[in-house]
Structure 1
């Protein structure tokens, strides 16, 4: 059940990362906020990889063509997903924006079964679908019976990109002939490094002013990167051990952490209907843990 602990760590850290990115989105453009997620996370991932090999020696990773396809694809797709998440922050309040993107759990379940050979038990499917219903309830605007079409499409696109990222990360990890922690650490380092290089290179060529703006808010950028690294460490580790739909369904406990952060840190009000969503998330979490 180690995957459960890794998932809780990831969900808690991601709630804080989203909060920091939400604040950064007021002063930085989408690319800058997205880069803040990766900028300082790559050296942290490298330090973790070195420390892991010092603590538990193992062979170096050997990457196949398939490994690189999954790694590069995951890196690019996560950049797109993060950018869409930032756009969601600008459309709705923090809690709803993050909630919409969490519909990646049912999306990853359907994509995993159709294209990646994932199999779910009946209890697992029940948990995934109940979790999806919780996200739908959470995403409904207060006092309205319909969701903005633009916001709904953005949320679906964001969750699909995150789902593909997770599925490809798992495939990349499984393609490495290494013990669990080492393959997860290699995938973590390579993906974050690729993302940092791609985004930094783009900004150096097209938008150096955004890099200068990031240097003026180092504390928030560093906190975003640290929270992102811890979150990615949790996600990558959990997905190396367990099927993505189960991990992402349990990961919806992030909604609970997000509401706490949103209320106490960002001083945003929480709607009463969100209590029902939290109950459903709890039921979904129990089902996927007992599948």
Structure 2
């Protein structure tokens, strides 16, 4: 059951990361906000891995071709997913798009069962579906409000996040290392690769964006720290349990986001939020029971 506290930690830190990214997106380009997620996370991930080896020494991993394929796929998919999410931040109806991006859980369930030999019980499927309905309700969306750009951005972001999660789990399993060392190696390699890709792109096309990040060190550091801790939680949980269950429980992130909005940004909760929150609690209970 260790996957449960790791998932809750990940959801809590991701809620803060999204809040910080939304603030940074007002002044920095999509690629710059995406890089902020990774740029200071590499040393933190390296320290975490070194600490694990001090606590419990194990053999060093062997990087086979399956591992390389899953790592590259996960790194690229997460960059694309984050960039699409930041684009949603810039739209008026951000909440609707963000809600659609949370289709990640149900897409991960379908792809996991179809292509990655994962299985879900009936109760697990009930939890996944309840979570999807809950997030849609909490976004304040109605079918009449959906536009094709928002719909495509949201679903594409959810699909990219789902593929990231599935490939991360497969990469961790491919290493064959004991818990939690395999997940820590995957985290470090993925973050290093993502940082290299985005830095190379920005040096080539958007050098001014690097300067913009340099001028906002506190916000950039907060995004990297919250992202790294969140990723430790996600990667570790997904090495222990199926992606669909982890991501469905992880939808409590919406509850954390609403609490952050209420107490940090002093925004009032809507009455319609209560039904969605109740469904998220039911979904979380269902997947933990499953």
Contact 1:139–1:147 (CA under 8 A) maintained in structure 2: no
Deviation at 1:103, TM superposition (A): 1.6
- CA distance in 1 between counterparts of 2:260 and 2:98 reads 12
The alignment partner of 1:59 has SS state of coil
- CA distance in 2 between counterparts of 1:211 and 1:92 reads 26
Deviation at 1:152, TM superposition (A): 1.7
Q: Which residue of 2 aligns with 1:83?
A: 83
- CA distance in 1 between counterparts of 2:44 and 2:129 reads 35
**TM-score, normalising length: structure 2:** 0.96
C-alpha distance after superposition, 1:211-266 (max 9, x if no partner): 00100000000000000000000000000000000000000000000111123323
Residues 31/88 of structure 1: CA separation in 2 closer, same or farther (3 Å cut): same
Q: Which residue of 2 aligns with 1:246?
A: 245
Residues 261/100 of structure 1: CA separation in 2 closer, same or farther (3 Å cut): farther
- CA distance in 1 between counterparts of 2:147 and 2:271 reads 20
C-alpha distance after superposition, 1:181-225 (max 9, x if no partner): 110100000001100111011111111100001000000000000
Deviation at 1:92, TM superposition (A): 3.9
Q: Which residue of 2 aligns with 1:230?
A: 229
Contact 1:184–1:237 (CA under 8 A) maintained in structure 2: yes
Q: Structure 1 residue 121 and structure 2 residue 117: aligned?
A: no
Residues 93/218 of structure 1: CA separation in 2 closer, same or farther (3 Å cut): farther
The total of aligned residue pairs comes to 290
Residues 152/270 of structure 1: CA separation in 2 closer, same or farther (3 Å cut): farther
Quote the RMSD (CA, aligned, Å).
1.4
- CA distance in 2 between counterparts of 1:181 and 1:210 reads 36
- CA distance in 2 between counterparts of 1:248 and 1:73 reads 19
Q: Structure 1 residue 8 and structure 2 residue 12: aligned?
A: no
The alignment partner of 1:180 has SS state of coil
The alignment partner of 1:38 has SS state of coil
C-alpha distance after superposition, 1:130-166 (max 9, x if no partner): 1111122123448x84323321221111000000000
- CA distance in 1 between counterparts of 2:260 and 2:87 reads 20
Q: Structure 1 residue 55 and structure 2 residue 61: aligned?
A: no
Q: Which residue of 2 aligns with 1:164?
A: 163
Residues 89/68 of structure 1: CA separation in 2 closer, same or farther (3 Å cut): same
Q: Structure 1 residue 194 and structure 2 residue 197: aligned?
A: no
Q: Which residue of 2 aligns with 1:259?
A: 258
- CA distance in 1 between counterparts of 2:93 and 2:42 reads 29
Residues 148/262 of structure 1: CA separation in 2 closer, same or farther (3 Å cut): farther
Q: Which residue of 2 aligns with 1:289?
A: 288
Contact 1:102–1:135 (CA under 8 A) maintained in structure 2: yes
**TM-score, normalising length: structure 1:** 0.96
Q: Which residue of 2 aligns with 1:71?
A: 71
- CA distance in 2 between counterparts of 1:263 and 1:100 reads 22
- CA distance in 1 between counterparts of 2:25 and 2:56 reads 40
Which moved further from structure 2: 255-264 or 276-285? 255-264
The alignment partner of 1:91 has SS state of coil
Contact 1:140–1:146 (CA under 8 A) maintained in structure 2: no
- CA distance in 2 between counterparts of 1:183 and 1:97 reads 33
Contact 2:7–2:233 (CA under 8 A) maintained in structure 1: yes
- CA distance in 2 between counterparts of 1:234 and 1:97 reads 24
- CA distance in 2 between counterparts of 1:81 and 1:44 reads 22
Deviation at 1:97, TM superposition (A): 4.5
